[in-house]
Structure 1
């Protein structure tokens, strides 16, 4: 199986999960659910360490201009997120009133409640949270750029080697099994299909918009770097499929990082931008939340106020930075805005959560794939030669 490469293994895992979920007994399914619980707990523990271990030394290696590139990356990510939200708003506002009928609002339960539970769980509390890891990485990384000695830099470089080894030897080999378990459990639960059927037309529209968004992102990145955008997008496809299975930008960091380096981004720039964008770049999630919130408003007969909704999009790009790198994190972070700015009732927020989680992975996959385009742009702006990546600079555990 290892000889097949990551992309075919992920595809096989998704297909097997859907097919075997139709007839495997629940007792067998719960074995994989238990594994997924353990693996998910480990991901929750290791993700903050991945952020610190990759971002901190990468900022230090960028030198005294690191603060500038931190701001540039954050600005590009926020701009991409807001653009996605505005695009979704304009297209959905024009099409959804013709696709949906007011008064068709139905209450659906959260599909996660229908999933099978594990036989047992093991608590693996992270040393600190994702946002704490980001702030710590920024503070220490920027501090490394002004230190007169490089002793601490060497220490963080060694930490990066440890993290990269864990990624290459543990996380990436087990990801297909994890994705198989997710799709197996979702198929057995059955309720996800019910939620998807309710909003099938909206789902098709959202999927089409995510495809357009990715093409626009890579067209811009390709024009700036002189690379073939379609080829770069194809290279990032393993990250897309991994996120499709995990529904987590943070859990997909190892694959996104590897593919970003493969499209020619310098390793030190990729190690800086990819973990950062996994937390702050939520273009796909924003597009999906905007589209489905408009759908709920149309179904419930709520008047759509354009200025208020645009303000909602601007706030959404900031609020979802606090979303944990776990499935469904973005919608839970945005639920407060749905109530306070759009006036959603509790059942309407529940419908949003149910619908979002049912197809959470498509927005996440768009997020992480777009991270590759941002990495290309930042690498170019910072003076990188994306057309000639230096093999000797690539971290060995992440290639091959």
Structure 2
């Protein structure tokens, strides 16, 4: 009973990590010590591991279209408060989308330089279907669905995204007249989130099978690319947090980023340890208040950012795309890279608030450029560790964007930010009048 109780306390992320390690060990044992092709290939690799790994991948693919569609519709429709706040909401959304696009670009550049997927050689494991010779004009036209139901059925993700955004905008505009439809999408989104939780319970088994199958064929050759992928993501997150964000802060506000990070480090550490942006919202609001940011603005932009601003996830997705493309020996053209940037930005809006859901929406990014999703299973095991770093970057991006919006709307106490005034002194100034 005690053992069972202890096993129940292990988190899903840790089970995924355990599945990855065990799959890696079993794969290496099969590669080096099991020479009987009937046992190794016929029974294990091509049947048992193939069934477990491919079955889990198919479960994830089953979720992608409905999860993304409902999430994007609900996410866009929930931004109806922009009408009440005017330029504040619009400015916040634009900055959030810009930082997410920059995050994807940073990831693509770093992964192109480090080339984490080179040497993995997965071309024989699954086939890619990357569309070539497609112009930017054709890509833009293909975003407009001829038949949205056909796009939903065929998994045409760019068309699904555009249709979902349009539906969300209309629901936000006609909220009082479309309560029934709005409730339908809200409840549908909750159903898909719950289904995602159920499917993710099988993730440790799926990861174990995929890792065992891959390393039974590749041996130690697959370990170096995986380590390089981890390095790419961590470098990308560091660049976003300590280069991109401070640069934007200096460019738009002329405020001192060092002072911000000294004050904000405790929030980053809490986000790192909790791996959830939503749980960090109260602490984020408190620290921004101590930095002189108006609660009227932060109380809107921080929850909004926790919903649509997923820069850390976007970096992971950009690195994963390049990792998979290099592993399959595919040279993504400029049009495909632009598609990745656009899709990753849209995926950040449609990312539901459940653990490791970024891996589900990663399917959408892969599908948008025709990459096989098998490579996702290879990186899933270490995602829990990277997720902690991603969350820290996500909440930092929310705070930096809020600072910029507050500065542009003259809703920040600069003396308080620079340490010339305490929160109590600010309260005394308010109550004096």
- The two structures have a TM-score, normalised by structure 1, of 0.58
User: 1:247–1:326: 8 Å Cα contact kept in structure 2?
Assistant: no
- Figure out how many residues of one structure are paired with residues of the other and give that number: 277
Give the 3 Å change call, closer, same or farther, for CA 196–235 of structure 1 in structure 2.
farther
CA distance in 2 between partners of 1:327 and 1:106 (Å): 31
CA distance in 2 between partners of 1:197 and 1:256 (Å): 37
Q: For residue 229 of structure 2, what is the aligned residue in structure 1? A: 202
Q: For residue 96 of structure 1, what is the aligned residue in structure 2? A: 115
1:242-263 Cα shifts (integer Å, max 9, x gaps): 2222322222222222222222
Cα offset for 1:66? 1.1
SS of the residue 1:264 aligns to: coil
Match of 1:335 among 338, 341, 363: 363
CA distance in 1 between partners of 2:270 and 2:381 (Å): 22
Cα offset for 1:302? 2.3
Match of 2:299 among 256, 262, 271: 271
Structure 1 gaps, min length 5 = 1-23, 35-54, 108-130, 142-185, 395-400
Cα offset for 1:78? 0.1
Match of 2:340 among 285, 305, 312: 312
1:118-163 Cα shifts (integer Å, max 9, x gaps): xxxxxxxxxxxxx9xx99x98799xxxxxxxxxxxxxxxxxxxxxx
SS of the residue 1:325 aligns to: coil
1:288-334 Cα shifts (integer Å, max 9, x gaps): 11012211221222232232122121121012211112221223123
Q: For residue 232 of structure 1, what is the aligned residue in structure 2? A: 260
Between Structure 1 and Structure 2, whose CA radius of gyration is higher? Answer: 2
Which runs of structure 2 are paired with 1:251-290 in the superposition (5 Å)?
251-290=279-318
Give the 3 Å change call, closer, same or farther, for CA 380–311 of structure 1 in structure 2.
same
- The two structures have a TM-score, normalised by structure 2, of 0.54
1:27 aligns with 2:59: no
User: 2:306–2:395: 8 Å Cα contact kept in structure 1?
Assistant: yes
Match of 2:245 among 195, 217, 223: 217
User: 1:249–1:367: 8 Å Cα contact kept in structure 2?
Assistant: yes
SS of the residue 2:414 aligns to: coil
CA distance in 2 between partners of 1:204 and 1:223 (Å): 28
1:46-73 Cα shifts (integer Å, max 9, x gaps): xxxxxxxxx99xx69xxx8712211110
1:72 aligns with 2:72: no
CA distance in 1 between partners of 2:261 and 2:124 (Å): 38
1:387 aligns with 2:414: yes
Give the 3 Å change call, closer, same or farther, for CA 354–306 of structure 1 in structure 2.
farther
CA distance in 1 between partners of 2:263 and 2:399 (Å): 10
User: 1:274–1:371: 8 Å Cα contact kept in structure 2?
Assistant: yes
SS of the residue 1:252 aligns to: helix
User: 1:210–1:366: 8 Å Cα contact kept in structure 2?
Assistant: yes
User: 2:290–2:423: 8 Å Cα contact kept in structure 1?
Assistant: no
Higher relative contact order (CA 8 A, sep 6+): 2
Give the 3 Å change call, closer, same or farther, for CA 263–29 of structure 1 in structure 2.
farther
Cα offset for 1:352? 4.7
CA distance in 1 between partners of 2:173 and 2:307 (Å): 17
